[in-house]
Every structure is written in structure tokens, then in C-alpha cells.
Amino acid sequence: MKKTKWNLLCVALGGVMLLSAAGCSVQNSDNVVTTAAPTEATTKAADSQGTEKQDPKEKRQLVFWDKSEYVEGYNTLMKAKVDAYGAEHNVEVNYVIVPAADMKQKLMAAIEAGNAPDLIVGDDTLVGQFVSMNQIADCADVFADVDFTDNAKILGTFNGKEFLVPLAFTAPGMYLRMDKWQETGMEIPQTWEELKAGAKVINDPANGFYGMGFAMGASGGGDAEGFCRTIILDWGGVPVDESGKVTINSPETLEALKFIAGLYEEGLIPPDGITGDDGWNNSAYLAGTVGVICNSGSVVSSMKTENPELLEKTQIIAYPAGPTGTAYTLGGANVFGVFETGKNTETAKEFIKYYFSDLDNYNNMIEAMGAMWQPVVNGVDDTEFWKDPVNAGWLANSKNTYKTYYPAPSDERATVSFSNQLCVKTVQKIVVNKMDPQEALNQLEAELNKIYK
């Protein structure tokens, strides 16, 4: 079994230019942003570039639900590409920005009403769950048209078919407040126990500072569930094995759950962390109230623009190992999901191909995310941006990241069990409900067996 090894990276101060598209208005939350119908000027411009002019009566529609990103510039850039596509192909596009935590619920309601969107962007576990509901179209034709990396092709394959069209990897990293850690006199932690020991030294709740900042809210995102499963694997537990057998109820998993719960019970994490969502740890770290978090490159991007002094005090370190000596890194990707039950499935596929036909634009969007995203297509990572030591580790990690439900088979059972955040809810039972850890583990096993049997 391959272990993820990541050299320690000192985070240096640098700038990320968030590219904006002039004239594009992007509304946040779940507001609808509709591209304007092509004007006479844009139609003429399209014609001059050789685009076939279509009869306005034949104007097509596309409903695109995109999740809101922590880096605001992303939605502006995607909106600009949507506008360009609409103008060039005589398509009226409803571009809807939905908070990630609300996406699943809104999609379920839309499907129930028989009004599913044509295209969405979500994380791979969320979109995979809708594959299992027979909502997502097979996109083998899109994969044949786009030069995806081998790793991206593996991630996009679900139930043996190419359903999940990769947009970008979202490799995680661990952020450590080095100015605080130096007070411990310890070396960079190599194990979770060493990290906990150092966190106890710097923990100072009376002055509003906590040693750790790990969120544990079952909010719909995947950060907390990924954290729990990382610890379980590091302790030698296996939630579901490669054959699809539920194997979570073991002494190793029990000790892992006790370790996670202990971080909250011992006051090393702010009290509201037990219900914190995926943005909670970002905010806590940027506010300077916690000493270590696990997150993507989004926090680096924010520090560069909002708090460069904090960035100078931060170091990205490798994930520590558990008692087994293994350090897993679980991650995933944002993917396009084309709804087979939508009204404009082929138009949605056409837009994806159009989007990836301009690799300069794709690279600009990836770099605008400030290492929060890593590329999924060949030919765009040999740039000065990815050679920068601040960013290089994120790229390397994206090429060595395990799927969030490893080592379970990549199928609907895996995505349902992960997106239901069963491990997170188990920790909450122990911490909030004061349930006996073994009893909580027994219930976790039973819930997984409902899905897998």
C-alpha cells in the first residue's frame, strides 16, 4: 500500500490575482443569474468568427447550477464563460449559484418536482450519489473529447462508467501556526499524538485561542467526514474493504473514534466546532483563534489578500501518521454532473466540451483559485505558478490523494455512506449525547450495513 509522503513546505508571502470578467455580475447565495439573450453586436461578433448563425426561434436553453466557492472570483470567471458560450451558440443559460451545503436538498426538491437542472458542479461524492439515483448521464463522449489526466479519469469513473466529469482536484493540506508551535519547543509533528501533545501546550481558551480547529458538523460538506475517515485509516481501521464488506467495527476504529472525541471533550477545539460546517475552520484560522486546521488551498488564498501577516506565521505540513505509521490523505474533486433527467442533456455536454476547449481560460481559472484547486487535464501544470514552492505541494498532493471512501469500491453505496456523514454523526453521539463509544460504533456499523447489504 502506497503511503502519501509530502515534503514540508514553508508558506511564503505571495500574491494571487483573482481574474475578473468585466461586465459580469454574479449574485451569491441561491439567486438566479440569467445570461442575457445575445445582442445584435454579440451575434455579429460570433458570425465574424465563423460561428454558424441560428434562427432565434431555435434558441436552446441550459440550466446550470454551480456551487458557490470560497474564492469569490471563481463564480465570476465561470459566469463569463457561460455568457460567451450562450452568445456564440445562441443558448439562453440560467446560471444559478447555490451554497454547497444547500445543493443536495435543492436538487432533491427539483427532481421531485420534475424540474432537474441540466448541469451542476459539485464534489464527486455528491454527484456520485445522484448517479446512483439514475439522474446523471454517461459522459463517455465528453471524456473522449477532453485530454484528462489518468488520475482524473480514475476519479471520474463510477460503477465502471465515466459519469463524473472532473473540473478540478481539491487536495487537502494541514495548516500549522508556527509562531505558536515554536512555543512548544517541539519539532514538526509526525504523528497525531505529537500534534495533540503540542496543541495542549498552546491551548489557551481563557484568551480565546485553541490548539486545534477541526470542524465536526454534519452540514452537507465533506471535510469533517474525510477527517474522521482519515483518522480511522491511520489507526488501522477500515470502514469498508475493497470487496464492499463493512469492516468498521474493530478495536482500531474504536480507538480512533475515542481519539477524535477526546479532542473536543478535552477542550482543545472551540465548543462550536462540534457543529461547525466546512467554512467554520477557515474562519477560525483566519481569525487567529486556532492553531491547526485541515483544509484546501482556499485558506492560503484568503491569507494572501486578507491577512498576509498570518500567512508569514503559517506552515503547510504533511498529514501526521497514526499508530500504524501510515499517513493517509483523503481528497476528491469538483466535477460536472450532466443530468440525464434534465431537458437539455446534450447542450450541457456541449458546454463542457466548449469549456475545456480553451485551456488558457481553464488555467487562468485554476490559478485564480490560488492552489485551492489543481488541474485535471494534461498540459497546464508546467507553469511558473505550479513551480512556486507555495503551490507545488498542493499539485503533488493532488496526484497522490486517495478517494474519500477508500478502500471501498467506487459505487453508489460509497457515495451515499460518505455523503450521509455517518462517521461525523457517530462522533457527535459520543461528544454531544455522551453515548458510550462502543455503542456508537455498533450503531455506525448498523447504518453502514443498511447501505451495503
Q: State pLDDT tens for residues 278-312.
A: 889 999 999 999 999 998 887 887 898 899 999 99
The CATH number of domain 23-170+332-398 is 3.40.190.10: yes
The residue among 19 and 447 whose pLDDT is bigger is: 447
Q: Which amino acid is at 100?
A: A
pLDDT-wise least confident of 104-118, 212-226, 439-453: 212-226
- pLDDT at residue 407 above 60? yes
Q: Which fold has domain 173-328+421-452?
A: D-Maltodextrin-Binding Protein; domain 2 (3.40.190)
- Mean predicted confidence (pLDDT) in 146-150: 95
Report the sign of the C-alpha dihedral through residues 253, 254, 258, 259, in that order.
negative
- Quote the DSSP letter at residue 3: P
In this prediction, residue 21 has a pLDDT band, given cuts at 50, 70 and 90, of very low
In this prediction, residue 2 has a pLDDT band, given cuts at 50, 70 and 90, of very low
* Percent of the chain's residues with pLDDT above 90: 66
**Interval 359-390: pLDDT, tens:** 999 999 999 887 889 999 999 999 999 988 77
Within this chain, domains 23-170+332-398 and 173-328+421-452 share the same CATH topology: yes
Q: What is residue 250's predicted lDDT score, i.e. its pLDDT?
A: 98
Q: Tell how strand 157-158 and strand 119-123 pair up.
A: unpaired
Per-domain residue ranges of the chain = 23-170+332-398, 173-328+421-452
Q: Write the DSSP string, 51-110.
A: PPP--GGG-EEEEEEEE--SSTHHHHHHHHHHHHHHHHHTEEEEEEEE-HHHHHHHHHHH
Q: What is residue 140's predicted lDDT score, i.e. its pLDDT?
A: 98
Tell me if the pTM is above 0.85: no
- pLDDT at residue 56 above 70? no
In this prediction, residue 220 has a pLDDT band, given cuts at 50, 70 and 90, of low
Letter string b/e over residues 342-353, b meaning 16 or more CB atoms within 10 A of that residue's CB: bebbebbbbbbe
Q: CA-based Rg of the chain, rounded to a whole angstrom?
A: 22
